[in-house]
């Protein structure tokens, strides 16, 4: 389909066809929704890691409210993850008719989501970024977010190759510590003015912590600024390898590491959660007194067993 239509008649034709298709889709989906079952959709705000967080929270909420999660066949979650509990449709148009409920803040737990009025379909959002929404189903969430086979196999191959190689070098089983260094968009985007650019001193303090508590470590670094990552990781003669692939592959690689050192944002958060290992995070990701800081309750965002450093 061309992006620009020169003649008004052509424009009207395409509008009529689009409207007809929309009506047909709605009829199909209305028939496909199961009687006696109530559903929940997410709003899909932000990027991949935000979508993952929304899905995990929606899933946790659904388990307490007897709801079934809906996804569209073109959603990134369907493309990259198994999501076995979701019902997958051609798209999510039917969600527009659902009851909408949105949290006031992106990253503050709202307990009212955990006990919704019964016998309704819901569209929930916006970001719902708190581990407390799914604290009762952590392992189920990890099952939902199992990577598709090829993604998982490729990531495991890369991580195990480094682990095996460094185990030979060390003469002992190597510990692979994933490192996610987010930098590019925070450094360049004025709309993220309340988000701190994590200082290099934090990363090196975190490396010091790792070296104090773990032996035979190799750091596997994923970053949107590999040149800077190489500079900051040029420290204490550590063993470090660097990878920069499309985001889903970076996420899968980090998730396959034994432990994870994060900087800021949801991407590193999910790498840490899915790894099941020790997770280090930067304690002060938002600047005090900013709108971004008002959106966060750090206790709601970071699990209590993770290790915060500065």
User: 76-116, pLDDT tens digit by residue?
Assistant: 999 999 999 999 999 999 999 999 999 999 999 999 999 99
Q: What average pLDDT does this structure show over 30-37?
A: 75
Q: pTM of the entire structure?
A: 0.87
Task: Identify which has the larger pLDDT, 187 or 42.
Answer: 42
> Once rounded to an integer, what is the mean pLDDT over residues 159-173?
98
210/264 Cα distance (integer angstroms)? 18
Residues near 93 by Cβ (< 8 Å), separated by ≥ 6? 22, 25, 26, 29
Question: Could you tell me the pLDDT band of residue 189, with boundaries at 50, 70 and 90?
Answer: low
Give CA–CA dist 229/35, Å, rounded: 53
Which of 82, 243, 76, 252 minimizes the C-alpha distance to 152? 252
Confidence band (pLDDT; 50, 70, 90) for 32?
confident
pLDDT at 73 over 50: yes
């Amino acid at each position: 389909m061309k992006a620009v239509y020169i003649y008004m008649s052509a424009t009207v034709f395409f509008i009529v066809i689009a409207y007809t298709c929309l009506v047909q889709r709605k009829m199909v989906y209305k028939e496909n929704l199961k009687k006696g079952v109530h559903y929940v959709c997410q709003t899909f705000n932000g990027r991949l890691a935000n979508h993952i967080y929304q899905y995990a929270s929606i899933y946790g909420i659904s388990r307490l409210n007897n709801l079934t999660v809906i996804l569209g066949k073109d959603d990134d979650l369907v493309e990259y993850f198994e999501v076995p509990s979701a019902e997958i449709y051609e798209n999510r148009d039917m969600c527009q008719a659902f009851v909408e409920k949105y949290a006031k803040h992106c990253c503050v737990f709202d307990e009212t989501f955990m006990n919704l009025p019964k016998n309704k379909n819901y569209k929930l959002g916006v970001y719902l970024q708190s581990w407390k929404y799914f604290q009762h189903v952590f392992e189920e969430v990890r099952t939902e977010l199992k990577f598709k086979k090829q993604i998982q196999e490729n990531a495991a191959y890369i991580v195990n190759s480094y682990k095996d190689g460094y185990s030979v070098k060390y003469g002992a089983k190597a510990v692979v510590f994933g490192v996610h260094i987010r930098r590019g968009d925070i450094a360049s985007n004025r709309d993220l003015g309340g988000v701190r650019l994590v200082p290099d001193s934090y990363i090196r303090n975190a490396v010091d912590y790792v070296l104090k508590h773990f032996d035979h470590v190799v750091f596997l670094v994923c970053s949107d600024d590999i040149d800077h990552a190489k500079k900051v990781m040029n420290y204490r003669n550590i063993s470090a390898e660097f990878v920069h692939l499309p985001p889903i592959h970076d996420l899968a690689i980090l998730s396959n590491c034994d432990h994870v050192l994060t900087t800021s944002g949801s991407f590193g958060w999910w790498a840490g959660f899915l790894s099941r290992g020790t997770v280090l995070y930067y304690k002060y990701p938002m600047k005090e007194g900013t709108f971004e800081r008002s959106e966060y309750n750090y206790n709601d965002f970071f699990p209590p067993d993770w290790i915060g450093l500065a």
